[in-house]
Amino acid sequence: MKLKEIDRTAMQAWSPAQNHPVYLATGTSAQQLDATFSTNASLEIFELDLSDPSLDMKSCATFSSSHRYHKLIWGPHKMDSKGDVSGVLIAGGENGNIILYDPSKIIAGDKEVVIAQKDKHTGPVRALDVNIFQNNLVASGANESEIYIWDLNNFATPMTPGAKTQPPEDISCIAWNRQVQHILASASPSGRATVWDLRKNEPIIKVSDHSNRMHCSGLAWHPDVATQMVLASEDDRLPVIQMWDLRFASSPLRVLENHARGILAIAWSMADPELLLSCGKDAKILCSNPNTGEVLYELPTNTQWCFDIQWCPRNPAVLSAASFDGRISVYSIMGGSTDGLRQKQVDKLSSSFGNLDPFGTGQPLPPLQIPQQTAQHSIVLPLKKPPKWIRRPVGASFSFGGKLVTFENVKVQPQQGAEQQQQHHVFISQVVTEKEFLSRSDQLQQVVQSQGFTNYCQKKVDASQTEFEKNVWSFLKVNFEEDSRGKYLELLGYKKEDLGKKIALALNKVDGSDVALKDSDQVAQSDGEESPAAEEQLLGERIKEEKQEFDLLPSAGGTFNISVSGDIDGLITRALLTGDFESAVDLCLHDNRMADAIILAIAGGQELLARTQKKYFAKSQSKITRLITAVVMKNWKEIVESCDLKNWREALAAVLTYAKPDEFSALCDLLGARLESEGDSLLQTQACLCYICAGNVEKLVACWTKAQDSSNPLSLQDLIEKVVILRKAVQRTQAMDTNTVGALLAEKMSQYANLLAAQGSIAAALAFLPDNTNQPNIVQLRDRLCRAQGKPILGQESSRIPYERQQPSKGRPGPIAGHPQMSRVQTQQYYPHVRIAPTVTTWSNKTPTALPSHVPAASPSDTQGENPPPPGFIMHGNVNPNTAALPPPSPGHMHSQIPPYPQPQRPQNGWNDPPALNRVPKKNKMPENFLPPVPITSPIMNPLGDPQSQMLQQQPSAPVPLSNQASFPQPHLAGGQPFHGTQQPLGQTGIPPSFSKPNIEGAPGAPIGNTIQHVQSLPTEKITKKPIPDEHLILKTTFEDLIQRCLSSATDPQTKRKLDDASKRLEFLYDKLREQTLSPTIISGLHNIARSIETRNYSEGLTIHTHIVSTSNFSETSAFMPVLKVVLTQANKLGV
Amino acid sequence: MVSVINTVDTSHEDMIHDAQMDYYGTRLATCSSDRSVKIFDVRNGGQILIADLRGHEGPVWQVAWAHPMYGNILASCSYDRKVIIWKEENGTWEKTHEHSGHDSSVNSVCWAPHDYGLILACGSSDGAISLLTYTGEGQWEVKKINNAHTIGCNAVSWAPAVIPGSLIDQPSGQKPNYIKKFASGGCDNLIKLWREEEDGQWKEEQKLEAHSDWVRDVAWAPSIGLPTSTIASCSQDGRVFIWTCDDTSSNMWSPKLLHKFNDVVWHVSWSITANILAVSGGDNKVTLWKESVDGQWVCISDVNKGQGSVSASVSEGQQNEQ
């Protein structure tokens, strides 16, 4: 299709391939007069700007010349690779002159643009060519058989290729060989072509078909084959192109007879030797394959002849043709539509007629209508054969799992005669770039498998480069040791034995012994050399032994110091912090602080109190009232919330010592949060330590991510190591629901899995990927990994894909929420489905408490109910290496492969989640080929059940003790009666009932009969619950109604998710209402909130909410109050 | 380290022009000047020919897998001016749609991120880019951008669906108001960025100029959650540029020269994690590039016949920096 037009009757030369942008030089043709019969001549340069869709060529420069031209070429002489405008324009003139122009000067508009001029030839110089190997060599041809070789570096005297051919004739064409630099060919209208060898300085061969009709108008060497050339004939009687091979010079190798009349010009593409352009007096421009003779393309032209045709050296799809109608046209051979051309014609007409009122009639012309029919002809087809330059020979593409797919098409020189068979191979390679990352990931996996956490942490401590890193690992390590709270205290700088010594000394000192004082110092010093001081240093900053006064006036909201100095106060503090009441009382007594002594003694027990009371008569002041208050009142929240952050260690120590298990985590969290939000950058990082104590993985990740860049693989590895270890620790010690994966952690873990996958470690990636979350990106990644492993996927593919199989229909172009259907692959899981119940928990060395080890599903007959095993059972075998010998679930048994139970669809967010039962999704997608289980009618063994799956069901009771972890089925408890049986004994052993809260969902001792019953009644779950008392029903309806209102006006999915989640979590409240376990104050408060919701006064609701939270027992309300706050806040925000 | 784990003898009878793995990396699609498209199962180092798809009447330049949520769908484009969409139904691959809306060779096909639905962008030597959107019941709606690149569009590549930087805020990827964008490169030496307007029309958003010859390929890097967009481009001029744009501040794209090769560079491909770029050159060489800590692009491997070693310089450099 035509791209550009210039209205000139001119010879043309493209800028060399190196040049950018592409220029086209035109020089007024000597042979043709244009329509104006003007004899003026000019040399012009145009720029080819393809980003401009118009047909106009941008004119860069015009130089008025005294010459008209027979030939114009643009050589790259002295042009650098940067493609600055340079090179040289070489023109052949009318009177034997050859003129060299500097195109850069023409473009710059200089007056002096001629580099040199020689008038050595006789007659017009019609033939010019630049040697492509030595571009300073130019050959020229004119009349009288004159051929000169010019050296542009020494232009004065030309050389000749040899003796002139006889008889003298015009030289119409000249061409350097494209393969051998010293070979030159010339041709004349007589039909003879001569090949010269410049080394021999003589013609080596003459080519002629002796027909006397070959009237040579064109000559071109084969771009690739040194011995081949084509000759074109201008004679209408023989309008042919002959292809010659000099090795068989007796007759043409091939004759192309595609033109009806004489050929005026030819051009052989340097970019593709199968493309030869020719234009003739039949007004055709053809592109043929000279190697076969086939016409590949006929350019749509007007009826005018073209006398010159040129390929653009830089843009191989572009050519230009100069025609006798005074026009140079630039074409693309790639086809396309000529709409642009029509537009130009229309524009031209418009501009000719000026303002559409050319005749001053006052009547504008009607708008021009483009005839519709032209649209039919506007499409120009491309070449029949794809040109070489669009045939991509090589490629490399990455694919999932760090694989690189490459192919190459190595050029094989075609052997004479026999075509060599080319191999068409595609290589799939594994690319591994992060070796250290992989090896560390391997280590981590091994540790998890071998359970050698303590050693691993120790190694990490030893290898730590920074104090902080060392601390983190030390804290993590403690999780796996006995007496973890005690060890934490040691890490914080509190060691009981040492404190004992110090207190003893202090007591002596008070008795007035100077010697003792010295001793004390010495002991303190020697202590300093021992572990406590070392530990203190380990914490990055030495605990200052300076005296810190407590704020005596308990100003509201102010912070106070917890003094740990070496004097009496400090010692009392230390004693208190380590729970050593007796010493503390003694100290108080010695310091005449009777009130303190008494108060402490009350907390210390009857016995101590009695002893202290004896000495109560003396009084003394106290500087640590608040600390004592806190100890006595057990109000550690106060300490944590209001202590000076510099004393975070002391606060943490206090919490470690005193906090009840149920509030311990929350208090650590709180302290961590304070450090994070209020502290400076140093303290912020220390928050990580609090989160480790709290076992709060999610917050650790958040805090860590804030402080550290985890974008590169190794720092992500740093984070993941800690996370995995902490999760293991939490799982071990705190009986938390380790299945929970928050958004941030999930994000990091999937990032990690992605990285592993990208390094080809698909199996490892799968192992690290959180298992039971339905965050779409994770579910999708899991599915991708599973399939990438190359294992055949069981069942019908469509049912297991994590995306809704979509036949997209109109109106549903938006994103599609996936219904996760996890493909389970036998692999080591870091996120076991099993719930872990604590067996031995040592909150502090004072209260070592053993929880009853809950052997799940006490008797096999119970578990063997007809309910197929929940997924946890299957996974359990994988979690516990000791049970690895379990027969793997047979692929044929759907029961063991796909849990027929609906999986919980929401991530389980931990201890304040509502019971799992309530979250049973109704929309769960079943595999298409899966038949729903036969309705269960009685809790007896299913006679149809296959033995293997039954065996699996029985297994869990056996392996439990081996792993030192109790495991039990996925919970199917109604919220109604969660294991009262287990709660009782717990209370008696001194553990507050709330401690076992995490177990409420997955109650270890849940009556199995119940479980089955609930399983049976899954579809009608609510019937099994006690009804909410009528008087409280209003709460449920109000809250649910509010959530619905919020949902309908919420727009962003995040809020919707929050609300959905809230709605589910509030089930916990409803369950409490059913059980009637809430205190009257809370109930009335809730009713107040409900009333304020009725009146749309959400801020009032929030105030009441705050009041309830601040006055009630944390553990009683923590499951639902935060959620309620979320709902209220949202409602307030949305204004529903 | 680059090690060949599978050598697939495609039995193509002419040059191979493209080879692409599916979403899972278990199936390989190849296309060739022999006018055929082939699909192989390459799991576990094997090679099983699943389909030999005939239908094109010219060399087939590119193949592209659709996201599996739409089923097993492959698009191919050819010199015959056609785009064919192939689909596997009950284990057999068949032509499901043929698009012949171009007047010249169709050089590139690329599926939009799956979040948008089934949309295919096609770049052609006729200078136009067409966008095929599946509207259900076997119907495809066509939108065409005429004169996108004068004398030819060589490559199209979609921007990832995730608005960079929003990964953490929108973990579920359910943000409904995506701005659809793609990049194209052509024979006008330009890279152009296109975005869909609210009225569904495609508008040229930006022109990126740095190449001095045909842009052979463009590749929009996958999003890794950073608030920057990255595009790699390669050209006939031997240059490979990395274009980056800070999404948060402006719409300014700045190029960085990765390398100037001595020959045409045909293809660029990002790794899934967007940290490695594979560059395929006219000398039949494939090189892998990675950005070092100081922002320089470093060649970490020369791949010959699928094999090569990765220099450790970059990762070591990173460690030293830390």
E-state strands within A410-526: 425-431
Residues in chain A within 8 Å Cβ distance of B169: 1054
B295 touches chain A (CB under 8 A): no
Q: What is the mean pLDDT of residues B301-313?
A: 76
Indicate the pLDDT class of residue A1024, thresholds 50, 70 and 90: low
Using alpha carbons only, how large is chain A's radius of gyration in Å?
A: 46
A754 touches chain B (CB under 8 A): yes
Given a contact cutoff of 8 angstroms between Cβ atoms, the answer to whether A382 and A333 are in contact is: yes
CA atoms within 13 A on the CB side of A471: 26
Sheet holding B139-145, edge to edge: B106-111, B119-124, B129-136, B139-145
Indicate the pLDDT class of residue A1097, thresholds 50, 70 and 90: confident
A790 touches chain B (CB under 8 A): yes
Q: What pLDDT is stored for residue B163 in this prediction?
A: 57
Chain A residue whose CA is closest to B313 = A433
Residue range A384-434, pLDDT digits in tens: 888 888 888 899 999 998 899 998 776 555 554 444 556 788 999 999 888
Q: What pLDDT is stored for residue B289 in this prediction?
A: 93
* Nearest CA-CA distance, residue A10 and chain B, Å: 25
Distance between CA A402 and CA A419 in Å, rounded? Answer: 37
H helix and E strand count, chain B = 1, 25
Name the packing angle between helices A606-614 and A581-590 (round to 10°): 10
User: Nearest Cα to A399, choosing from B56, B276, B12?
Assistant: B276
Residue A917 has pLDDT above 50, yes or no: no
Distance between CA A409 and CA B13 in Å, rounded? Answer: 12
Distance between CA A537 and CA A543 in Å, rounded? Answer: 8
* Nearest CA-CA distance, residue A388 and chain B, Å: 11
Per-residue CA distances from A523 to A491, A506, A539 (Å): 20, 11, 22
Task: Tell me which of B13, B40, B103 to substitute to probe the interface with A (most A C-beta atoms closer than 10 Å).
Answer: B103
Residue range A325-354, pLDDT digits in tens: 888 989 888 877 655 544 555 555 555 555
Distance between CA A69 and CA A126 in Å, rounded? Answer: 8
Contacts of A818 (CB under 8 A, 6+ apart): A776, A779, A780, A802, A803, A804, B69
Given a contact cutoff of 8 angstroms between Cβ atoms, the answer to whether A822 and A875 are in contact is: no
Q: At residue B189, what is the residue type? A: N
Least confident of A134-138, A246-250, A515-519: A515-519
SS3 of A432, please? coil
Give first-to-last CA distance, chain B, whole Å: 23
Chain B residue whose CA is closest to A427 = B7
Distance between CA B34 and CA A748 in Å, rounded? Answer: 46
User: Nearest Cα to A123, choosing from A103, A139, A147?
Assistant: A147
A239 prior amide bond cis, ω within 30: no
Q: What is the mean pLDDT of residues B198-209?
A: 91
Q: How far is CA A82 from the centre of its chain?
A: 37
B107 touches chain A (CB under 8 A): yes
Give first-to-last CA distance, chain A, whole Å: 63
A300 touches chain B (CB under 8 A): no
Q: What is the mean pLDDT of residues A130-157?
A: 89
Question: Read out DSSP for A132-186?
Answer: SSSTTEEEEE-STT-EEEEETTEEEEEE-SSSPPSS-----EEEE-SS-TTEEEE
Q: What pLDDT is stored for residue A1129 in this prediction?
A: 85
Q: What is the mean pLDDT of residues B23-52?
A: 93
Residue % of chain A over a pLDDT of 70: 62
A706 touches chain B (CB under 8 A): no
Residue A274 has pLDDT above 50, yes or no: yes
Residue A799 has pLDDT above 50, yes or no: no
Residue A833 has pLDDT above 60, yes or no: no
Residue B181 has pLDDT above 90, yes or no: yes
Distance between CA A560 and CA A771 in Å, rounded? Answer: 45
Q: Which of residues 373-432 of A touch B (CB under 8 A)?
A: 379-382, 386, 390-410, 423-432
Q: What pLDDT is stored for residue B182 in this prediction?
A: 95
Interchain contact, A757 vs B272, CB within 8 Å: yes
SS3 of A495, please? coil
Element (H, E) at A575: helix A568-577
Q: At residue A300, what is the residue type? A: P
DSSP, res B304:
B
Distance between CA A155 and CA A136 in Å, rounded? Answer: 10
More confident residue, A180 or A484: A180
The three-point CA angle A126-A132-A137 to 5° equals 60
* Nearest CA-CA distance, residue B270 and chain A, Å: 6
Q: What is the mean pLDDT of residues A1095-1119?
A: 80
Distance between CA A853 and CA A1072 in Å, rounded? Answer: 27
Contacts of B296 (CB under 8 A, 6+ apart): none
B200 sits in the region (left: phi over 0; alpha: psi -120 to 50; else beta) called left
Burial pattern A69-102, b for ≥16 Cβ within 10 A else e, equals bbbbbbbbbebeeebebbbbbbbbbeebbbbbbb
The closest CB to that of A337, out of B103, B237, B276, belongs to B103
Interchain contact, A398 vs B272, CB within 8 Å: yes
B235 touches chain A (CB under 8 A): no
Q: What pLDDT is stored for residue A524 in this prediction?
A: 41
Residues in chain A within 8 Å Cβ distance of B7: 425-428
Strands B253-260 and B265-270: unpaired
Residue A1008 has pLDDT above 50, yes or no: no
Distance between CA A163 and CA A161 in Å, rounded? Answer: 7
Distance between CA A98 and CA B172 in Å, rounded? Answer: 74
Placement of tokens 């771009």 in the chain: A223
B288 touches chain A (CB under 8 A): yes
Which phi and psi angles does A948 have, rounded to 5°? -65, -45
Interchain contact, A787 vs B20, CB within 8 Å: no
Q: What pLDDT is stored for residue A967 in this prediction?
A: 42
Given a contact cutoff of 8 angstroms between Cβ atoms, the answer to whether A274 and A222 are in contact is: no
Q: What pLDDT is stored for residue A819 in this prediction?
A: 40
Task: Tell me which of A337, A427, A791, A807 to substitute to probe the interface with B (most B C-beta atoms closer than 10 Å).
Answer: A427
Q: How far is CA A310 from the centre of its chain?
A: 48
User: Nearest Cα to B37, choosing from B7, B61, B21?
Assistant: B61
Placement of tokens 């009350």 in the chain: A602
A584, exposed or middle or buried, with CB in 10 Å at 0-12, 13-18, 19+? buried
Interchain contact, A406 vs B19, CB within 8 Å: yes
Q: What pLDDT is stored for residue A35 in this prediction?
A: 58
Q: At residue A911, what is the residue type? A: W
User: Nearest Cα to A266, choosing from A282, A288, A246?
Assistant: A288
Interchain contact, A397 vs B271, CB within 8 Å: no
Name the packing angle between helices A467-478 and A484-492 (round to 10°): 160
Indicate the pLDDT class of residue A673, thresholds 50, 70 and 90: confident
Residues in chain B within 8 Å Cβ distance of A432: 1-3, 310
Distance between CA A395 and CA B62 in Å, rounded? Answer: 11
Q: At residue A69, what is the residue type? A: Y
Burial pattern B2-18, b for ≥16 Cβ within 10 A else e, equals bebebebebebeebbbb
What are the structure tokens assigned to B281, written together?
Answer: 């050159």
A610 touches chain B (CB under 8 A): no
Residue B173 has pLDDT above 60, yes or no: no
Residue A692 has pLDDT above 70, yes or no: yes
Q: What is the mean pLDDT of residues A195-218?
A: 85
Contacts of A462 (CB under 8 A, 6+ apart): none
Residues in chain B within 8 Å Cβ distance of A425: 7-10
Interchain contact, B173 vs A815, CB within 8 Å: yes
Q: What pLDDT is stored for residue A738 in this prediction?
A: 52
**Among A71-85, A302-316, B17-31, which range has the highest average pLDDT?**
B17-31
Interchain contact, A50 vs B189, CB within 8 Å: yes
B88, exposed or middle or buried, with CB in 10 Å at 0-12, 13-18, 19+? middle
Least confident of A896-905, A1039-1048, A1095-1104: A896-905
SS3 of B91, please? coil
More confident residue, A1103 or B145: B145
A668 touches chain B (CB under 8 A): no
Q: What pLDDT is stored for residue A679 in this prediction?
A: 67
Indicate the pLDDT class of residue B123, thresholds 50, 70 and 90: very high
More confident residue, A251 or A574: A251
Interchain contact, A431 vs B310, CB within 8 Å: yes
E-state strands within A881-1021: 966-968
B14 sits in the region (left: phi over 0; alpha: psi -120 to 50; else beta) called beta
Residue range A209-226, pLDDT digits in tens: 777 778 888 999 999 899
* Nearest CA-CA distance, residue B46 and chain A, Å: 10
The closest CB to that of A407, out of B4, B16, B103, belongs to B16
Indicate the pLDDT class of residue A821, thresholds 50, 70 and 90: very low
Distance between CA B115 and CA B67 in Å, rounded? Answer: 10
